[in-house]
Structure 1
Amino acid sequence: MTSKSKIIVLDDDPTGSQTVHGCLLLTQWDVETLQTGLRDTSPIFFVLTNTRAIAPNDADKITREVCRNLKIALQLEEITDFLIVSRSDSTLRGHYPIETDAIAEELGGFDAHFLVPAFFEGGRFTRDSIHYLVVNGVPTPTHLTEFAQDSVFGYTHSYLPDYVEEKTQGKIKSGAVERFLLADVRSGCLDRLIQLKDNQCGVVDAETQADMSHFAEDILTAADQGKKFLFRSAASLLTALAQLPPQPIPAEEMSKYVRNGRAGVVIVGSHVQKTTEQLQKLLEIPTTAPVEIDVSLLLSSRDSQELLGEILAKIKQIYDIGKTPVIFTSRRELEFADIETRLDFGKKVSQLLMDIVQGLPKDIGFLISKGGITSNDVLSTGLKLPTARLLGQVLAGCSVVITPDAHFPFPKLPVVLFPGNVGNAEALATVYLRLAS
């Protein structure tokens, strides 16, 4: 079925659009910009809040600010049929339930909120309410992976009802969570959806995109009958809800957007092991050259502008001989006294990386941004884009946006948004070669 509901995604980094195309990504959320998203012909748009990079109180504040402005924009555009998705990480990291609680309080009246973390392109699925990540070909409960050890967003359960109880600190008990198992999803669950009320928490199984499409069809039917739902999901649900046709631009042909056949730049902020493996493979390609940034220097009294100047000079030297500079932060994870200190240091690192983006040669052919938070900062701060149009994916899970014709100083620049935890060891090299060809 085709739904009349507008799908509004609050994305805690810019990589949730990794399964859709042709829609707008908004890096600002003033009423006028939100109206632009609501008026757009695409059934879906994304508001890039970047909340995963900030402290819990700030995440709550930003989410509420978006919702309050959205409420006004919806009224001005006279839109009453909409679905809200709090898009987050498919490995269960993020400010849950802070963000869904804020949305529910500000926009009110939800019959249910669902956790739907499956992301098939990244090898993540949910069976018997247990969320799995395929690691080296082996389905592994996510609480046994490196992601569950995250120093900010760690957790001990991948059985989703227990995860909900853990994250809500017992406010929602495991036994009170509605479980939509594979059999339910595949046989149809519309009747159950219609019965939900009072922001009931539900968790949803899905092993394939077909499973997600079955669930989405029932959701859209229920929404058209007046039910109001909120989602905490990864990207695969968005594909099913948006019901978009196939991507018009094949991934293998994205090189046609590279400006004047020039070399590009790769910037890597993510620290997960997968990214480090991908970085090593990329640097084996002879047309790339490393630019490592020792972020521990930011802890010293070293002048940041002097450090910036040295980095930019090295980048220019590499670029001038026709190679692609690969800029990456030192791989060793630093230790901090508390989460606040770590997040504050992350902001310093991000500021340095964005200063680098703004100082890049103005005629680069393309830009690849590796890491969700890094990619958000590239769009909103480095390139200062209030909105960007999504072309599609250059690789499963890796989106390409293009800057506007009038952008200064990087018009018509293709930018790859490459999540930190997506792809095999060769993926970053594959994306680079698809553009550099």
Structure 2
Amino acid sequence: MDSKIIVLDDDPTGSQTVHSCLLLTRWDVDTLREALADAAPLFFVLTNTRGMSAERAAAVTREVCRNLKQALKGTRINPILVSRSDSTLRGHYPVETDVIGEELGPFDAHFLVPAFFEGGRVTRDSVHYLKVDGREVPVHETEFARDSIFGYRHSHLPDYVEEKTRGRIPAARVERILLADLRRGVLARLLALQDNICAVVDAEAPEDLASFASDIRMAVSQGRRFLFRSAASLLTALAQLPPQPVAPEAMGRFTRQGRPGAVIVGSHVAKSSRQLAHLLAEPGVTDVEVDVGRLPAERATVLANVLKQVERGFAAGQTAVVYTSRQERQFPDQAARLAFGEEVSGLLMDVVRNLPAEIGFLISKGGITSNDVLSDALCLRTARVLGQVAPGCSVVRCPAGHPRFPDLPVVIFPGNVGEDETLAVVYRRFAEIKD
């Protein structure tokens, strides 16, 4: 049997540690078969479920699984299934893993592996940490735990599991795979797991996940069936890819004819706002703010004004930085927040569709924003990852036959990734501005 890592990604940022693989924005049976036949050891199905209600997320996940089951028929592929989500523990857990288990199970175990080294996330003694200004902070003490949709109270992963499953999986029943276990080897323990037991996995360095992945591959080769809920770093360990073909510092070679580009900033986390401030201080950029407070009533006027500023800047050789106004809005409920988010994203996608056709590059800041750019604004059925331009920031390219933006390089830049200056660094690389 051949192995293939199949990733259901709840936004398009899970490819942020790999290269040369396909991202699918469609999941019909034919597209899935195309990805299964691809030479890369893994591929991603971009479900965008983090931007949906739990009910809609479950329905989309179920559709993908049923189509995947059909696409796998007649193949000799033993898939390794990963539900990739945010390394700060925001997402529809256990909704998505429950559906995958129902449709593609039974599994012997499902694992939570949120470590994401490129983003400063590590897990030690089953506690998940985020590095902030060089200090490790338990994630429940960060802004991410206060997310109005995906908030949580626990950084200790067994307690997080109990909280999110509303007691269905008690913390005491969660298997804990600690650093010392990984370094001794856990193959025998993996082979003993059964009944889709939940296990949480430590990791504070790539070597920890490399060891874990090696034991996983051995267990899978012996017939064990596992499901993973993980961040991106586990995928690096499972895929065992060589270094990416083009170095991050050389990604500017993909800029079309050295022309200015465009940057779309939809993410609202504090880190994104700090990164935006650094970018706006760079040479060669023009500031285009979208006043979301005027939506939806004045949508047509807002869109026309934004496009006029973008075109004026491009004509002057400037890269337009289009960003949503930064003030925090309050909503009566989750449904209202999601609906407004879709309204804002719809406007940003109209901006992308109408960017000057000659732009040299496009940087999309924010996971859900990036998903909508690829699937909606650019109408890409599939895209291949070229690699990363900075840690955690993937680059894909529009196909040569794209009707408006042939060969356009597009950066997928997650909201919670990078240092304060990273967005500016990525811009400089594509604009080929030397330090």
Matched, 1:282 2:282: no
Residue 218 of structure 2: aligned partner:
221
Q: Partner residue of 1:327?
A: 322
1:53 aligned to 51, 68, 78, which one?
A: 51
Q: Which of 10, 16, 19 is matched with 2:17 structurally? A: 19
Rounded Cα–Cα distance in structure 1 between residues aligned with 2:315 and 2:112: 48
CA distance in 1, matches of 2:148, 2:188: 41
Q: Which residue of 1 aligns with 2:120?
A: 123
> What is the TM-score normalised by the length of structure 1?
0.98
TM, length-normalised to structure 2: 0.98
Partner of 2:338: 343
Q: Which residue of 2 aligns with 1:178?
A: 175
Which residue matches 1:386? 381
Q: 1:100-115 to 2 correspondence within 5 Å?
A: 100-115=97-112
Q: Is the 2:2–2:76 Cα contact (8 Å) retained in structure 1?
A: no
User: 2:2 touches 2:77 (CA, 8 Å); kept in 1?
Assistant: no
Q: State the distance in 1 between where 2:41 and 2:72 align.
A: 14
Secondary structure at 2:379's aligned position in 1?
A: coil
Matched, 1:201 2:188: no
3-state DSSP of counterpart to 2:405: coil
| Structure 1: stretches of 5+ with no match in the other structure | none
Q: Which residue of 2 is the match for residue 425 of structure 1?
A: 420
User: Which aligned pairs between 1:11-410 and structure 2 lie closer than 5 A?
Assistant: 11-76=9-74, 78-299=75-296, 301-302=297-298, 304-410=299-405
- Per-residue CA deviations over 1:322-366 (Å, capped at 9, x if unaligned) read 011000001112110000110011111110000000000000000
Which of 402, 411, 414 matches 2:409? Answer: 414
SS at match of 2:238: helix
CA–CA distance in structure 2, aligned partners of residues 288 and 344 of structure 1: 31
Q: Which amino acid aligns with 2:179?
A: L
Q: CA–CA distance in 2 between the matches of 1:277 and 1:385?
A: 30
Supply the distance in 2 between the matched residues of 1:111 and 1:80 (Cα, whole angstroms).
18
State the Cα deviation string for residues 296-319 of structure 1 (Å, max 9, x = none): 1115x32x2232111101110111
Q: Give deviations 1:122-147, integer Å, cap 9, x for gaps.
A: 00000000000000100000000000
Instruction: Look up the SS of the partner of 1:81 in the other structure.
Output: strand
Tell me if the contact between 1:86 and 1:233 (Cα under 8 Å) persists in the aligned partners. yes
Between the aligned partners of 1:260 and 1:396, the Cα distance in structure 2 is: 25
Deviations 1:42-92 (A, max 9, x none): 00000000000011100000000000000000004x134111000000000
2:288 and 2:322 in contact (8 A); partners too: yes
Residues 411-432 of structure 1 deviation map (CA, whole Å, 9 limit, x = unaligned): 0000000000000000000000
Kept in 2: contact 1:26–1:47 (CA 8 A): yes
Report the alpha carbon displacement of residue 372 of structure 1 after superposing the two structures with TM.
0.3
Secondary structure of 2:118's counterpart equals helix
For the 8 Å contact 1:125–1:206, the answer to whether it is kept is yes
Q: Residue 108 of structure 1: CA displacement?
A: 1.4
In structure 1, give the amino acid aligned to 2:251: M
Structure 2 contact 80–226 (Cα < 8 Å) conserved: yes
Q: Counterparts of 2:306 and 2:382 in 1: how far apart (Å)? A: 29
The separation in 2 between residues aligned to 1:285 and 1:153, in whole angstroms, is 34
Shift of 1:408: 1.1
User: Gaps spanning 5+ residues in structure 2: where?
Assistant: none
C-alpha contact 2:210 2:237 (8 A) present in aligned 1: yes
Please report how far the alpha carbon of residue 5 of structure 1 lies from its aligned counterpart in structure 2 after TM superposition: 1.5
- Structure 1 Cα separation of the partners of residues 328 and 107 of structure 2: 40
* One-letter amino acid of the structure 2 residue matched with residue 326 of structure 1: V
State the Cα deviation string for residues 256-305 of structure 1 (Å, max 9, x = none): 11001000000000000000000000000121111000111115x32x22
Q: Distance in 2 between matches of 1:309 and 1:135?
A: 39
Give the counterpart letter for 1:231 in structure 2.
Answer: F
Offset of 1:247 from its aligned partner? 0.8
Contact 1:4 1:224 in 2 (8 A): no
Which amino acid in structure 2 is aligned with residue 405 of structure 1?
A: A
Moved over 6 A (4+): none
Give the aligned length. 432
Letter in 1 for 2:132: V
CA distance in 2 between counterparts of 1:254 and 1:341 reads: 39
Question: 2:290 touches 2:302 (CA, 8 Å); kept in 1?
Answer: no
CA contact 2:126–2:158 (8 Å) conserved in 1? yes
Deviation at 1:248, TM superposition (A): 1.1
- SS of residue in 2 equivalent to 1:368: strand
- Mapped to 2, the partners of 1:336 and 1:178 lie a distance apart of 38
Q: Alignment partner of 1:203: what SS?
A: strand
| Identity score, percent | 62
Q: Which residue type is aligned with residue 189 of structure 1?
A: V
TM-fit CA distance, 1:4: 3.7
Matched AA of 2:405: F
Letter paired with 1:377:
D
The one-letter code matched in structure 2 to 1:179 is: R
CA distance in 1, matches of 2:194, 2:18: 30
- Classify the secondary structure of the residue corresponding to 1:114: strand
Question: Does residue 433 of structure 2 align to residue 435 of structure 1?
Answer: no
